[in-house]
Structure 1
Amino acid sequence: MITNETNDAIAADEPDLIQEARLWRNNGWTARIVKNEDDEGWAVEMILDGESEPALVGPWTMGRDKKNPKPLDASAFNTLVKTAGEFRQRQVQQLHATLHQSVTINAAAGRISVTLDIVPDDDDPHALLAAHDAAGEELARVRVASGFKLNKTSACAWIDAGFRRPE
């Protein structure tokens, strides 16, 4: 038999646990069913704790009465958490790929890896262009504009110019 003390202990272990028909919160995620502004249906928002914007918004199934949304349940919530987590992971990977680029050049001095790390600072956006030899030793590092385009041509030109800061 579960006593009030047991319920209190469970609640203390999971203070953010909410399991309502249109709102579930658990394991750092909140699922909220909202009226779909684009049509007469419903949508579900998945929000990661600490974030102001939903990580994922998608359509939600109508209930049997064809007016109200189908209530959330454990299975649906777990599926939504998995989907939103995967979607967020792809966003992070895409952002990383955008901010951190690299090319490898076969130069006269050997293989040189040229990297561009963009710093998306609101006040001072810039990027760091760096070159490393095959052993990983840094050959050069210069600050460039955040809009610098790294490709094999620009990397070769930088190497051929003796690693002088590109204009």
Structure 2
Amino acid sequence: MSTYPFEQFLWITYIFVAVPSAVWGAILAVLAWRFPNDRSASGQGLWLTGLIGFVFGVLAAIGWLSWSADSRGQFVAPGFPPPDDFPSWQIAACALTVGVLWFLAARLSAWRKLGGFSAAIGVTAGLVTAFCIDAATDVTGQSGIGAVFLGAGAGVSLAFCAGIRATFLGRSRDTSA
């Protein structure tokens, strides 16, 4: 009888999710302390924004990558282990969903500029956690390397979007001067 290696999952999630998220979260906490005027009167705090982003990241990965409509016209139903062959449109739809969910999480934040970065940390952590579920069972280590690349790519991409969002939010407020 095969059992899921939960200890392995916890270990790789700690390495690939918890440590990078803690580092970026500490940087974000310093920025929040340095720029307290970024916070508006209503909305979620940075921690809750990141948690909402985390849930959105897990849901996006499970929603789009637990099943496959492969290029041969076959349909692989949702299940574990997840499929490993996806058509390009399905990956693009997952990426678009991640972007929309990141934007939604950032909009829910009370922090005008820093909320986008908190949402980026959370969504990236959620995506990588979902990938670590399968990576824990992979003896080759390729899924773990994929989780590292996903974390780096999604983190940089969403942080870039958060920077663009913060720039435009800053411009709209600076026009009164």
Fold conserved between structures, TM > 0.5: no
Which structure: larger Rg? 1
| Greater fraction of residues in helix | 2
Structure possessing the higher relative contact order (Cα contacts under 8 Å, 6 or more residues apart): 2
TM value normalised by structure 2: 0.29
| Greater fraction of residues in strand | 1
